[in-house]
Structure 1
Amino acid sequence: MTSQNPAERLNRASNAIFEETAFLFGANAEFVESLYAQYLEDPASVDPSWARYFAGLEGPRGPSTPSWASRAKTAGAPIAAPVSGAEDVRAAAQASIRAIQLVRAYRVIGHFEADLDPLGLAPKTPHPQLDPKFYGFKDADLDKPVFIDGVLGLQSATPREMVDLLKRTYCGRIGYEFMHINDAEEKDWLQRRIEGPDKEITFTPAGKRAILNKLIEAEGFEKFCALRFLGTKRFGLDGGEAMIPALEQIIKRGGQLGVSKIVIGMAHRGRLNVLANVLSKSYRQIFHEFRGGSANPEGIDEVTGDVKYHLGASSDRSFDGNDVHLTLTPNPSHLEAADPVVLGKARAKQFQLGDTEARTSVLPMLLHGDAAFAGQGIVAECFAMSGTRGYRTGGTIHFVINNQIGFTTSPQYSRSSAYCTDIALMVQAPIFHVNGDDPEAVVHAARIATEFRQLFHKDVVIDMYCYRRFGHNETDEPAFTQPLMYRAIKDHPTTLEIYAKKLVAESSMAASDVEHMVGDFNARLDSEFEASKAHKPERADWLQSNWTGFEVAPKSYHRADTGVDKDALLQVGKALSTVPEGFNAHKTVARQLQNKARMFETGEGIDWATAEALAFGTLLKEGFPVRLSGQDSGRGTFSQRHSVLVDQETEARYIPLANVAKDQAPFEVIDSLLSEAAVLGFEYGYATSEPKALVLWEAQFGDFANNAQVIIDQFIASGEMKWLRMCGLVMLLPHGYEGQGPEHSSARLERYLQLCAQDNWQVCNPTTPANYFHVLRRQMLRNFRKPLVLMTPKSLLRHKRCVSFLDDLSPGTSFHRVFRDQAECVPGATTVQLAPDEDIRRVILCSGKVYFDLVDAREKHNQQQVQMLRLEQLYPFPEGPLGEVLERFPNAEIVWVQEEPRNQGAWTFVRQRIEYLMEKLGRRVRPRYIGRPEYAATAAGLMSQHTAELHYIMDEAMRFDLKIRTEDDQ
């Protein structure tokens, strides 16, 4: 996205010569020269576009007096000699074209000759295209002025001067890579920002001292930890210390350019250093954690915590009167998994600030390792979403700590590209490669990157070449696998030593001043170390800011008051069934809208999609934003939702839920990119930052969540226990066995149940539209947040019995964790008169769609001694309400029926819980299993096999002995 405000653009004027000659390469020079000679003889003999170009070179006076002869020179630049005659004009034009080709070559490939590696391990190979002779300049031409019309900030320059300036710009300690960008304005801005005689990297004495101070803190912290906590893993920053002053520059320059919040994500390396020296986490707290102390104060129970180099933090920093709030997101060991979480958090914070256009107020910043940046697919997914409507955040600054190694794997074995950052080429992000031993260059690159992001609202990458002084971690021996690299590192001075020596040599600092600064900082660390011995954390970093007013979930929580007044339901219903006048809805959609209108007129037949829309609409009316994303979520995978209507003549879009009431909260429904991991991570991040919004992610089919298992395991299921991060994210996972084969049947219910512990989330499998309505509203109407995993239906979306009444949504109604048998009130059912409770011989417990198959089977067999109970919520396990119902049937055996294979579904989860419950009721009865046998896959691939299995399960469920099975019979 480019800026919509032209007044904010810097140096907008295009470079005409460059833009019009971007096509020129060495092989084309002879053709262009001959074409120009033809033009001089007869301008009408060449194509009009070439004639315009050559005329631009000559100016208004004609070929005998070309325009460059009379233009004002740039200060300090030589003036090209006046020319006359066709041959002179041709020679001058030829020199200009060759010069432009030379400049372009440096812009395109100059970074390959940049001085990037502090260790100098690989010899640089000269590129002939960077030699003026490649373009036909001879030794005698190197000191002759050539007209270049403002390129490099000069009107004219000799080839030798151009090469000196180009080498300084493109082949120094920063290698700029940006010519892959298609946007001419972005390229022009970058060129003007870095090219020219006055564009050297310069810092004031105060700026140099600030850089030195941050290097002292960065190196001093690592050395102190290595001395005091010998042999303890910390994933130190040693070798990459220049990142710390660079991050300071991003905060400072960002604050000047309107950034008020920065959301940071990073993996292990240097994390403790960033916490201490960027986010200002107290040294005593970090040392306390090194000693094995908790990150949280006493009184926070049942929190498992995490290792110290996974923890996050937040703080406020102020530079030049600009306050910037920093948040470092907790991360797991899966290196790049936190990337989309950071992006989601940033998007939520932008929403809270009302910055939904330029998105300059909140900056996401991701710190990567080189091997993970190149190797982890979720990085590409994040780049892919960076410019999309539902996920853009105004650009991310990516800072790559380029260790030039991944654990023990050298780059030639871990990627197929020249740079670890080549993945960023997919979105045309500019990339600044920089030598980590030149902190001024690193800080300079960080400043330009921040300016670019704020101006153009796009991703930008800083690739800092450095090294790991002590291997993957401090207990590792890296010389096992990289002996030459670590021989060089052993003798290599630190970045602080190099920079301090430079400042002393140029008289910017006295050696004694440097020693004094180092001594003062070490004394501070000694004091903090002593204080850490008695330190106790005073506050937990949670339930603050936007989470103020929320509470820890009570030990026993049940329902919320989720019913809605009928008038409010009808208001939403009218919005759902009405389109603007003149809107050309698809005829099938129009029929659906008519059916919805009849639902609200009669109060009957509320189907799944309508109940969902009613839940969304009523929450929107009550001030809760709703955000739903997933693949094809607008229409719905099964054409059930149609939350976005498309005019069949104009393709104009109309969203009924955005038009419920004038003062309603915002509604977003987003057709996501074909990603599960990054999109689910994004929504998790959004939900952790915006607790007052209902945030939902929908899998196209339930098993698609397999691709996001890292996000589920390491964030959603465990984030509260590890990091005190509450989250109300809803996962909608289509689930149900209808003969569609292994990949379109199961949402892997068993995986979510296996992760259930410590009241970490809710797993529900609702079977009525009303219960779905209530469970969605329950998410928002309690004063705590828990993730909600929902098995959602496919065939039940249009099942004649899977409908509800409007009265089921009215005040006084709520979510049912256990549904009692509804033999006499299931819509469309043939009445089965059940036997009295004491005569019931079998109680079937089940969950999900299989209930409706069992209803059909019971009617088919006219089985009056079978009672069926549905577990609508599997976790937290509804022991209380289930026990109350089971007490009614003292003579019945307990059977669990499921459509999933025996080793899948809920069976292994509920079995012990049912046994425990029956023991509490004074009965030694074990539940019996009826269902498919164990499978390696999730379902049969043949419809005939699926049907045969289903018939077997139903027949077995309705055919039983009168003898009650006891524990001794098992």
Structure 2
Amino acid sequence: MAQAAMEKELQVQYYNMSEQDLDRVFRLPNTTYIGGNETVLPLREIIKRLQHVYCRSIGVEFMFINNLQQADWIRRKFETPGIMQFGSEERRMLMARLIRSTRFEEFLARKWSSEKRFGLEGCEVLIPAMKTIIDSSSAAGVDSFIIGMPHRGRLNVLANVCRKPLEKIICQFDSKLEAADEGSGDVKYHLGMSHERVNRVTNKYIKIAVVANPSHLEAVDTVVQGKARAEMFYRGDTDGKKVMPMLIHGDAAFSGQGIVYECLHLSDLPAFTTHGTVHIVVNNQIGFTTDPRSSRSSPYCTDVARVVNAPIFHVNADDPEAVIYVCKVASEWRETFGKDVVIDLVCYRRFGHNEIDEPMFTQPLMYKKIAKQPTVLAKYAEYLINNGVVTQQEYEEEISKYDKICEESYSLAKKETAVSNIDWLDSPWSGFFEGRNPMEMPTTGVHEETLQHIGKVFSTPPEDFVIHGGLKRVLKGRANMVAERQADWALGEAFAFGSLLKEGIHVRLSGQDVERGTFSHRHHVLHHQNIDKKTTIPLNNLYPDQAPYTVCNSSLSEYGVLGFEVGFSITNPNALVIWEAQFGDFANTAQCIIDQFISSGQAKWVRQSGLVMLLPHGFEGMGPEHSSARLERFLQMSNDDPDYFPV
């Protein structure tokens, strides 16, 4: 009924207007840009132009954005007449990218017909879409791209977006790795990588990292954000102009997994923002075997992104030029406003969940239609040939050129004598392990005068800084302990942090209420009692050339924030990155990150992380919810053989 009412409202007769009224001239309001330089138009032309913008391949959701400047910016990008123009060269490049995307999947299907590869068939346009975002952002100055994505299309992205040598990917289908080797037991579509190359469109040097991830859908989202934020921090990229995260999602996972909501709510927090993430949803309208009718309650899978005022661009993935235009706008949005943006690629999945799966069991009507659907490449090539942009011969030559590349790589892969895990590291720790005995504990003591200095600064508030009366007593007690050469937990922690900062080691502590501390014991951020937002961090004022100390309260999330700190910790080995649970038991909600990224990351992906987890638990009579960090779980996860003791 609502749909029928909507259709009536879009007809001129609903407003008591006749056919003759269509020729009446109306002045355009200043809330629309459909007129270009014209300020008055006949009603017939107004309707035609609005239909041209909003009733074709692109659907724009932005009216919920409560910022007029941003809403106007989006209107201008889609409503201005003639704004979506493509030249012949751009169209030829788009066709070439579609050929690579399509033929790569067909090559793997020919060579390994019985292997699962989670191919991109039905959304081949993802490859030119991602490459367009990288091209546009590279032109604007971004030179590091950090990507998180699920299984579908991963191998294609590694081959055709990252340009990882094809023979390295093909080796994974004919692996020479022994099962006992670290990293070898995991399937090829979970692996990460880091690759540096020249972007051929902008002629600029770029680095692309794809972060390794488990089967747990969307679990990698905040890990990518943390890795991106760390890279920004160490490069001094305070506004995200050099480093950019890009997340690829599935439609069912985007609406179904709570981590997506947690990830979005980190997007504008001062200590967690990445100044805009480009989210691409590969919306094949089905989750494994589940229809949208059974997998979400919202009209669109992307509705969760509305909570952070992210514009959402729905686009028909069978219209490559519309997709490319939307990607350019998304890149420009991120560059202009430093905020998240969502691209919803409305597509389909040509085969089952994997290539040996039978989708007709559960979606027979949909798959009868899909079987008759020509590929996006076939449709676009036909369009270009009919419009004289390319000839049939040029199209076929481009196909045979890429097919030849695939075959040559296949031959090269057969000559590979060994597969190195270094090829699959998303965050290589260059030079960190050389010349070190991993079983030897280094000397960590510091001079007493260093501790005295740290203790004195830590217990002395700045002059003319009004602190709470209760805090004066706390700081006085700390000063007395320092004088008497004693320490409690909070003072010992400050000694540890301060001595590392003196040596140039960055310390980052995040979690729920870590600035004050759950037990009101830490007080690393002092608040002026009379002036809003005026704070001081004594540990940042120890030495003129010390490393920075980042202490930051997080959103009320365990899963998402722990993932973020894992991502932050893998970027640089020479840092102390700490996540603190509010109570030890609260690590329960982050168990997925602990199981999938922390305890098994080395065995699965040769991933190194220097993360420290603080799990405070007290026996102050607060009951079982708050008196156990469940340490036995961590001990069970920390060693392959419980009966073996290292020398």
**TM-score, structure 1 as length reference:** 0.64
2:598 to 708, 713, 716: 716
Corresponding residue of 2:576 = 694
Post-superposition offset of 1:461: 0.3
CA contact (8 A) 2:210 2:426 kept: no
1:394 to 1:613, Cα distance in 2 relative to 1, 3 A: same
Residues in 1 aligned to 2:435 and 2:252: alpha-carbon distance in whole angstroms: 40
Corresponding residue of 1:364 = 245
1:127 has 2:7 as partner: yes
Post-superposition offset of 1:134: 3.9
Q: Give the secondary-structure state (helix, strand or coil) at the position aligned to 1:191.
A: helix
Corresponding residue of 2:148 = 265
Q: Give the secondary-structure state (helix, strand or coil) at the position aligned to 1:234.
A: coil
How do 1:215-230 residues align onto structure 2 when only pairs under 5 Å count? 215-230=98-113
Residues in 2 aligned to 1:133 and 1:621: alpha-carbon distance in whole angstroms: 76
Corresponding residue of 2:72 = 188
Post-superposition offset of 1:126: 6.0
Corresponding residue of 1:534 = 415
Corresponding residue of 1:659 = 541
Residues in 1 aligned to 2:9 and 2:442: alpha-carbon distance in whole angstroms: 71
Post-superposition offset of 1:129: 3.2
Corresponding residue of 2:234 = 352
CA contact (8 A) 1:434 1:462 kept: yes
Q: Deviations over 1:757-781 (max 9, x none)?
A: 259xxxxxxxxxxxxxxxxxxxxxx
1:687 to 1:553, Cα distance in 2 relative to 1, 3 A: farther
Q: Deviations over 1:734-768 (max 9, x none)?
A: 13544322211111111111111259xxxxxxxxx
How do 1:596-615 residues align onto structure 2 when only pairs under 5 Å count? 596-604=478-486, 606-615=487-496
1:410 to 1:317, Cα distance in 2 relative to 1, 3 A: farther
Corresponding residue of 2:40 = 156
CA contact (8 A) 2:278 2:334 kept: yes
Moved more, 477-486 or 383-392: 383-392
1:879 to 1:725, Cα distance in 2 relative to 1, 3 A: closer
Q: Give the secondary-structure state (helix, strand or coil) at the position aligned to 2:318.
A: coil
CA contact (8 A) 2:194 2:425 kept: no
Q: Give the secondary-structure state (helix, strand or coil) at the position aligned to 1:734.
A: coil
Corresponding residue of 1:619 = 500
How do 1:39-50 residues align onto structure 2 when only pairs under 5 Å count? none
Q: Deviations over 1:610-658 (max 9, x none)?
A: 0001111111111011110010100000001011111222242111111
How do 1:159-308 residues align onto structure 2 when only pairs under 5 Å count? 159-199=43-83, 201-294=84-177, 302-308=182-188
The alignment's C-alpha RMSD in Å is: 2.2
CA contact (8 A) 2:221 2:247 kept: yes
1:452 to 330, 333, 336: 333
| Runs of 5+ consecutive residues of structure 2 not aligned to the other structure | none
Post-superposition offset of 1:427: 0.6
1:542 to 1:462, Cα distance in 2 relative to 1, 3 A: closer
CA contact (8 A) 1:404 1:467 kept: yes
1:138 to 15, 18, 29: 18
1:267 to 1:194, Cα distance in 2 relative to 1, 3 A: same
Q: Give the secondary-structure state (helix, strand or coil) at the position aligned to 2:478.
A: helix
Residues in 2 aligned to 1:637 and 1:667: alpha-carbon distance in whole angstroms: 19
Q: Deviations over 1:371-417 (max 9, x none)?
A: 00000000000011111111111011000000100000000100001
1:243 to 1:197, Cα distance in 2 relative to 1, 3 A: same
CA contact (8 A) 2:148 2:246 kept: yes
CA contact (8 A) 1:542 1:725 kept: no
CA contact (8 A) 2:333 2:341 kept: yes
Corresponding residue of 1:24 = none
Residues in 1 aligned to 2:185 and 2:272: alpha-carbon distance in whole angstroms: 30
Corresponding residue of 2:396 = 515
Post-superposition offset of 1:598: 1.4
The AA in structure 1 aligned to 2:392 is: A
Residues in 2 aligned to 1:623 and 1:221: alpha-carbon distance in whole angstroms: 47
Post-superposition offset of 1:291: 1.3
Residues in 2 aligned to 1:544 and 1:471: alpha-carbon distance in whole angstroms: 29
Q: Give the secondary-structure state (helix, strand or coil) at the position aligned to 2:615.
A: strand
Corresponding residue of 1:952 = none
Q: Deviations over 1:166-193 (max 9, x none)?
A: 1111111011111110011100111111
Corresponding residue of 1:777 = none
Residues in 2 aligned to 1:728 and 1:295: alpha-carbon distance in whole angstroms: 27
Q: Deviations over 1:266-305 (max 9, x none)?
A: 0000000000011111221211111133499xxx954454
Moved more, 538-547 or 709-718: 538-547
How do 1:636-651 residues align onto structure 2 when only pairs under 5 Å count? 636-651=517-532
Residues in 1 aligned to 2:629 and 2:181: alpha-carbon distance in whole angstroms: 32
CA contact (8 A) 1:222 1:237 kept: yes
Post-superposition offset of 1:206: 1.0
Q: Give the secondary-structure state (helix, strand or coil) at the position aligned to 2:516.
A: coil
1:552 to 1:755, Cα distance in 2 relative to 1, 3 A: farther
Post-superposition offset of 1:878: 7.1
Residues in 2 aligned to 1:595 and 1:645: alpha-carbon distance in whole angstroms: 16
CA contact (8 A) 2:194 2:424 kept: no
- Equivalent pairs, count: 638
Corresponding residue of 1:470 = 351
Q: Give the secondary-structure state (helix, strand or coil) at the position aligned to 1:352.
A: helix
How do 1:323-402 residues align onto structure 2 when only pairs under 5 Å count? 323-356=205-238, 358-402=239-283
Residues in 2 aligned to 1:542 and 1:302: alpha-carbon distance in whole angstroms: 11
Q: Give the secondary-structure state (helix, strand or coil) at the position aligned to 1:203.
A: coil
Residues in 2 aligned to 1:879 and 1:207: alpha-carbon distance in whole angstroms: 60
Q: Deviations over 1:782-841 (max 9, x none)?
A: xxxxxxxxxxxxxxxxxxxxxxxxxxxxxxxxxxxxxxxxxxxxxxxxxxxxxxxxxxxx
Residues in 2 aligned to 1:243 and 1:591: alpha-carbon distance in whole angstroms: 60
Residues in 2 aligned to 1:544 and 1:412: alpha-carbon distance in whole angstroms: 37
CA contact (8 A) 1:264 1:366 kept: yes
Residues in 2 aligned to 1:125 and 1:550: alpha-carbon distance in whole angstroms: 66
Moved more, 234-243 or 144-153: 144-153
Residues in 2 aligned to 1:542 and 1:222: alpha-carbon distance in whole angstroms: 21
Post-superposition offset of 1:224: 1.0
Q: Deviations over 1:225-251 (max 9, x none)?
A: 111101100000011000100111001
**TM-score, structure 2 as length reference:** 0.95
Give % identity.
48
Residues in 2 aligned to 1:145 and 1:301: alpha-carbon distance in whole angstroms: 75
The AA in structure 1 aligned to 2:527 is: V
Return the structure number with greater relative CO, CA threshold 8 A, min gap 6: 2
Post-superposition offset of 1:592: 1.2
How do 1:25-64 residues align onto structure 2 when only pairs under 5 Å count? none
Q: Give the secondary-structure state (helix, strand or coil) at the position aligned to 1:327.
A: strand
CA contact (8 A) 1:305 1:723 kept: no
Corresponding residue of 1:421 = 302
1:496 to 354, 362, 377: 377
Q: Give the secondary-structure state (helix, strand or coil) at the position aligned to 2:422.
A: coil
The AA in structure 2 aligned to 1:156 is: V
1:728 to 589, 599, 610: 610
| Runs of 5+ consecutive residues of structure 1 not aligned to the other structure | 1-111, 114-123, 760-874, 881-970
1:543 to 1:450, Cα distance in 2 relative to 1, 3 A: closer
1:545 to 1:428, Cα distance in 2 relative to 1, 3 A: closer
Residues in 2 aligned to 1:667 and 1:131: alpha-carbon distance in whole angstroms: 61
CA contact (8 A) 2:193 2:424 kept: no
1:744 has 2:647 as partner: no
Q: Deviations over 1:59-97 (max 9, x none)?
A: xxxxxxxxxxxxxxxxxxxxxxxxxxxxxxxxxxxxxxx
Mark the structure with the bigger radius of gyration.
1
